[in-house]
Homo-oligomer: A and B are copies of this chain.
Amino acid sequence: VLDPLRVKEQAVIPKVSQTHLDARRQQILDAAVECFSRDGLHPTTMQDIVKQSGLSAGALYTYFKSKDEMIEAIAAGRHERERELITSSRKSGDAADGVQVLVRSFSRILVDPAERKGRRLSIQLWAEALRNPQILRTVRKGVDVPRGMLTEMVEAGIQRGTLTADVDPDAIARVLIALFQGFALQIALAPSTPLEPSIRVVEKMFAALAAARGDKE
């Protein structure tokens, strides 16, 4: 009765288009992001996501094997998003002084209301990464890949002479990331945090660092 070939044959012409499938998957992820960023990873129940998505419990499990897999998918999405942000920052920063442009770009992201959910989600994922090896791997990649890109940008800055040569590009990248993470946290915990003065301090520090090179010469 069960003919695996027939099943496969049927699978050739899917009843539901891939586009539909992708849309459904995204619909679920959007609902999950909404819930997770609002209530946290663990307090959010699958029922919450069911309600938020307008789908059924069964539907969620058609697209994701488990809640953990859903969290993992969202973590991967964050990772992807962060890479994008760096990439777009790099583009706009190609012409001028890399770090200054980068810092400006970061500050825009940090105050962007559209990124609020993402900031809250990231903090939830940091906490989750401490106990979930799979999430840890993804979160780390989400930090390491941007860091690699930043390192390259800093190296380019050094070659262009906008930064001193005697600094470790990777160390600078880490400093930039730490600043970004720290301010993302401060803003998530206190949305009224004044970011601009601190950004100016950071700019000034990097400018001073660049200038310091000239002094030595």
Contact = CB atoms under 8 A, between A and B. Distances in A.
A200 interface: yes
Interface size class of A (residues with CB under 8 A): 35 or more
Interface string A103-132: 000000000000000001001101111110
A180 interface: yes
Contacts of A202: 175
Nearest to A44: B131
Contacts of A130: 40, 120, 123-124, 188-189
B131 A43 contact: yes
A42 B40 CA distance: 10
A178 B206 contact: no
A197 B172 CA distance: 8
Contacts of A180: 182
Interface stretch (A22-30, A69-77, A163-171): A163-171
B123 A127 contact: yes
A178 B183 contact: yes
A80 interface: no
A128 to B, nearest CB: 7
